[in-house]
Structure 1
Amino acid sequence: MEFDNNIPIYIQVIHDIKKDIVTGKLALGDKMISGRDLALMYKINPNTASRIYRELEAQEICFTKRGLGTFVTEDKERICNIRKDMANDLLEQFISGMSNLGLQKDEIFSMLEEKYQKFDITENVK
């Protein structure tokens, strides 16, 4: 993963893990890799990996069973809400960017419709 220097690494990794969860790469109740393995996978400090798991627990995205490891939440509604939040963030960035270019709502919709028709969405849905 390439990190953006303008965003703290732990936030970027949390976002990546959330994406894996909402897309089903990590299923409800799945055991997550250890903090040590997370640090190796992302090439980050083990303390940062611990912080990531603490933050995910605070957001109720995962939970730890002492002696067994860390697991993805089993709360399907929680995952649906995370997915909606992530989608809303993307939409806000998109709309803000398009507005900053001086485009109006009807122009944005027209461009979006045209691009969507050329885009095979099934390639990006897993």
Structure 2
Amino acid sequence: MGQEFNTNQPIYLQIVQRLCRQIIRGELGAGDKLPSVRELAVQMGVNPNTVQRVYSEMEKLGVAETRRGLGTFITEREERLRQLRDELMTEQINGFVDDMKEMGFTAPEIIDGVRKNLENV
């Protein structure tokens, strides 16, 4: 019942990324309650301490808030959620561009390739 995880990155960061992507896609919205620590641990097939670290990291990022006695919720600060979306987009684009440059592609070639790809979507 657990999830597949990449061995090159800590599991808690992978779960943070998955939850952030769910927020970006609109699967989790502002003010939504996240599963309890135990519930998410069972869903992900990880130790509850790992999930506690996930929620702590999300709080540090400003995308989740723990309400004593109620649980952990996605922040209601829409501006922070828009900022998260922009940050993740920039991170993905930077990684892609770095990979392309490493393979020897020029900026015009990258732009042309992206343009052609988007025309086929």
Q: Shorter-chain-normalised TM-score: which range?
A: over 0.9
Deviation at 1:65, TM superposition (A): 1.4
TM value normalised by structure 2: 0.94
Partner of 1:108: 110
Deviation at 1:22, TM superposition (A): 1.7
Provide the aligned C-alpha RMSD in A.
0.9
CA–CA separation in structure 2 for the residues paired with 1:108 and 1:97: 11
Partner of 2:61: 59
Deviation at 1:60, TM superposition (A): 1.5
Partner of 1:9: 11
Deviation at 1:108, TM superposition (A): 0.8
CA–CA separation in structure 2 for the residues paired with 1:114 and 1:58: 39
How many residues align structurally?
119
Deviation at 1:102, TM superposition (A): 0.4
SS in 2 for 1:63: strand
Q: Tell me, which stretches of 5 or more residues in structure 2 are unaligned?
A: none
Instruction: Using the aligned pairs only, state the percent identity.
Output: 35
SS in 2 for 1:71: strand
Match for 1:47 among 46, 49, 71? 49
Alignment partner of 1:37 is 2:39: yes
What one-letter code is carried by the residue in structure 2 that aligns with 1:48? T
Partner of 2:91: 89
Match for 1:69 among 68, 71, 93? 71
Deviation at 1:57, TM superposition (A): 1.2
CA–CA separation in structure 2 for the residues paired with 1:5 and 1:117: 35
CA–CA separation in structure 1 for the residues paired with 2:11 and 2:90: 22
TM value normalised by structure 1: 0.91
CA–CA separation in structure 2 for the residues paired with 1:99 and 1:69: 44
